[in-house]
Amino acid sequence: MNKKFTRGLALAASAALVFGAVATTQANAASEVTIAVQGPFTGDYAQLGVDQYPGAQFAVAKYNATKPKVKIKLIKADSQCDGTVAANVAPGIAANAAVVGVIGTSCSGEARNSIPSYKAAGLAMVSPSATAVDLTDPLSKNNGSPVFHRVVVNDATQGPALAKYATLGLKKPKVFLIDDKSPYGAGLIVAVKDALPAYGTVAGQDSVPVPLSDWTSVVSKVKASGAAVVIYGGYDADAAKFVKALRDNGYKGIFAGGDGVDTSAFPGLAGSAAEGVRMTAPDVPFDTLVSKAVLKDFQKITGVKVPGLYVTSAYDSANIYIDCIKKGNTTRSTILDCVNDGLWKGIGGGAISFDQDGDVIGGAAVGGYLVKKGKIIYDKKL
């Protein structure tokens, strides 16, 4: 899809959201609050947001079914995993007085450009998947304190796990590192490179602006380097094109990527080239944590048969807000205080809280995922 066109759609949707919702704020204030789920719902990287949303949807639907005094309305804020779009969407969310919290953003670039608006508005963010280190680095201009929080570990943890998993079974292999120049992709590869000496050696490195129609020159660099492993920092649509180009040109080595690659769309996008691709993510599959009865209920409410990546994290993020609202917090300031100071139990059973910079204390360990017979399977805890 044309990126300028999709950005236009996102901006139009944002404007409609603001003007449509503000008009009803006074009427609903006593009985309903709104939480925005911000991430990509259209565009090349939409599957990340599409995979996550049902986790929040399920949590809120279950809560509203209890007929609480204060109901929750869930809305989508489509920033397309694009920082430029997010910079235009976030002010609209911040200006909507009905919104008392944000589940998101999904992507780190979105977070960087949304944080200024949410800081100014005192609007809490709880992200299920934005992993860039600088978002919680107090020395970084991009730090989101005190509004930004994430229920997943950051790339300072995921990077070493990806280096380990990508090279598993090989003895100090040559590794080619490549990123998409995004805040997430470039940051992840920095963390991978720092950890790589324990597992292998860098045979080559490149940064490629995406979308890229022809990966031939990159493939040539990989093959010339003699690398047995390629580690990609970026998102599913571009990773699929890259691994297809590698396989079409005879590359037989391991292809690995982080959680940006690990969406339910990736196997279909990459086709047969996806087979054997290794991925990491700081999340545990929802369907491995819940009973068959709960899974059936999830499927009925969301219409999703197989929960995608970060359903667990989105579910936990939503339940943090739900718990705060249950305790009588219905304004932005009281909800922000609740999120900053609270302690919760995640669906996996572990305790969740946030440090002073917004990083999770507790949360899921990084897991390794594999594509087998066209499906992504959870392989192991790393």
User: What six digits make up the tokens of 76?
Assistant: 């989508």
Q: Report how far residue 46's alpha carbon sits from residue 50's, in angstroms, rounded to the nearest whole number.
A: 6
| pLDDT attached to residue 24 | 37
What does the pLDDT look like over 238-271, one tens digit per residue? 999 999 999 999 999 999 999 999 999 999 999 9
How many angstroms separate the CA atoms of 346 and 313, rounded? 9
| Residue given tokens 């080239």 in the structure block | 273
Low-confidence ranges of the chain (pLDDT < 50): 1-29
Do 48 and 39 form a contact (C-beta atoms < 8 A)? yes
- Amino acid 28: pLDDT: 41
SS3 per-residue string spanning the chain: CCHHHHHHHHHHHHHHHHHHHHCCHHHHCCCEEEEEEEECCCCCCHHHHHHHHHHHHHHHHHHHCCCCCCEEEEEEEECCCCHHHHHHHHHHHHHCCCEEEEECCCCHHHHHHHHHHHHHHCCEEEECCCCCHHHHCCCCCCCCCCCEEECCCCHHHHHHHHHHHHCCCCCCCEEEEEECCCHHHHHHHHHHHHHHHHCCEEEEEEECCCCCCCCHHHHHHHHHHCCCEEEEECCHHHHHHHHHHHHHCCCCCEEEECCCCCCCCHHHHHHHHHCCCEEEECCCCHHHCCCHHHHHHHHHHHCCCCCCCCHHHHHHHHHHHHHHHHCCCCCHHHHHHHHHHCCEECCCCCEEEECCCCCEEECCCCEEEEEECCEEEEEEEC
Strands laid side by side in the 351-354 sheet: 344-345, 351-354, 360-362
234: left (phi over 0), alpha (psi -120 to 50) or beta: left
| pLDDT given at position 318 | 98
Q: Which residues contact 301 (CB under 8 A, 6 or more apart)?
A: 57, 58, 61, 62
Total-model pTM = 0.90
Which residues are CB-contacts of 227 (< 8 A; sequence separation ≥ 6)? 173, 174, 175, 176, 203, 204, 253
CB atoms within 10 A of CB 214: 9
pLDDT given for residue 363 in this prediction: 78
Q: What's the chain's average pLDDT?
A: 92
Chain position carrying tokens 């796990």: 161
Q: All domains of the chain, ordered by start, with CATH?
A: 3-153+287-362 (3.40.50.2300), 156-281 (3.40.50.2300)
- What is the predicted pLDDT for the residue at 362? 84
Contact 38/79 with Cβ under 8 angstroms?
yes
Q: Which amino acid is at 125?
A: M
Q: Dump pLDDT digits (tens) for 275-315.
A: 999 999 999 999 999 999 999 999 999 999 999 999 999 99
CA–CA gap between residue 229 and residue 236 (Å, rounded): 18
Provide CB contacts within 8 A for 65, sequence distance 6+.
none
pLDDT for residue 364: 83
